[in-house]
Amino acid sequence: MEGSGKIEGMKEPVRAKKMIEAKGDEETLYLLTAGDGGGSERYYEDVERFADIVVQRLRREQAVSQFGRFAAARQSEFRDPLVLGLEFLMIGVLWRRYGGRAWALHKYGGGMLSKVYGRKGRRKRIGPAIHRVKGVLNTLALIAPGPRKVPVPQADVSRFASLIGWLRATDEFAQECRRLEEWLTFFKGKSRQEAVRSLQRAIALAEWFDTESLRVLGRYTANVEPYIVRRSRSLRWKENVIFCTRGRVEYHLNMVGAEMMNRAFREDFLRTKVKKVLLPVCMREKGEAGCRAVPADDGYVCQRCSKSCRVKTVTDLGLNHGFRVLLIPHASTAFGKQPVEPGKIGIIGVACVLNLISGGYLAKRMGYVPQCVLLNYSGCGKHWHDPGRITEIDLARLFDRLNLKLQG
């Protein structure tokens, strides 16, 4: 898909950065425009170079190639070496981040929480009550008590199973858990010594990643830890306490993971006949009360009611260049309830950092061929900013994903 176009207001990211600073930069958890020049170009250069280094290290991991053969024999839905390498790194990162909590969780806790979350959404009238119960249980059962740091447990297949159980109990890692469960089956087919050695290497790789990602990408996530400290008291008992207190390394994992997934699915995406761009509602200018977008089968369609709205800008680009633009109220509804014919529809999901890996998995599982573009900063009123903040993307990056040439 080729074309060219002029983008009105290409200096907008600079103006948006000034707006953030005026509101208080400490409220912006991540900021892709924190590099030189006020745009996000430096961020994308940094993450691409760092992803190259990560991929090179992953190529030396025998467990990744062995799991690739295992996945191919099982006709797994994910077999690209880049995605499997990302999963190996993800095992180590999540182990270091949550393994201690998982091992400490009472054996009945995960099952109890899963039953509660299984009821979520079945009846709208009990939804708020379920959310309140989830917040209480998350705080009591899943978050380590007190300021004491829970030590990282030694590598063991049974502890890996416990980690998956803990992650599933949080109701925040559903897509990741589906992939980790296949790795668990793989490890169970190995000797105990070989499985432990593979887990140890994943943990060691994650330790390196933690240090190096902070050095390379840390400038873009400087406010994550201060936010967690500042909001720790107000987040207690809230449904989203786990999501909102995810660690800085998880932001970096999603940044690098998005780059690796984009590479893995790139060629298939370009071959799709239909392309859609899915925008979050935090990009609209007028908010829910004033936005005139109308519902469609798979989202909402912008009615171009405001010339300065960023959703309108992208919608106009779609009309000019042959891709459809949809507003999506929530990440969980982005891909509908029914799978589509695999490989026919390419989607570019626009999202904040913590939704990138899980969104890529879900899109692929539903039959879409995914690419993603990051929001330049977080702005969701539900999780980060009350009443919310209008967000933006790098339009040049969107054009790059669509294989369009940008002029202006």
Same-domain check for residues 228 and 281: no
Domain annotation covers residue 267: no
124 and 229 belong to one structural domain: yes
Range of the domain at 214: 52-250
- Judge if 22 and 96 occupy the same domain: no
199 and 307 part of one domain: no
Same domain, 80 and 215: yes
Question: Do 231 and 151 belong to one domain?
Answer: yes
User: Is there a domain that residue 148 lies in?
Assistant: yes
Tell whether 207 and 66 lie within a shared domain. Answer: yes
Residues 57 and 125 reside in one and the same domain: yes
From 395, 362, 38, 346, select the one nearest 174 (Cα to Cα). 362
One domain for residues 141 and 227: yes
User: Does residue 256 form part of some domain?
Assistant: no
3-7, 23-27, 331-335 — which one is most confidently predicted on average?
331-335
What is the arithmetic mean of pLDDT over 209-229?
Answer: 95
pLDDT, position 129: 59
Residue 255 lies in a domain: no
Query: How would residue 373 be classed by pLDDT, with cut points 50, 70 and 90?
Result: very high
Q: How many domains is the chain built from?
A: 2
- Claim to verify: residue 219 and residue 77 sit in the same structural domain: yes
Query: Which DSSP state fits 35?
Result: S
Tell me what pLDDT residue 136 has: 60
In a domain, 261, yes or no: no
**How many Cβ atoms are within 10 Å of 296's Cβ, its own excluded?**
11
Tell me the mean pLDDT in the region 328-346.
85
pLDDT digits (tens, 9 = 90+) for 246-255: 999 999 999 9
Residues 26, 37: Cα–Cα separation, whole Å: 20
Helices (H) and strands (E) in the chain, counts: 16, 8
pLDDT at residue 288, as a whole number: 77
Residue 194 in this model has a pLDDT that exceeds 50: yes
What is the pLDDT averaged over residues 226-252?
85
Return the higher-pLDDT residue of 115 and 387. 387
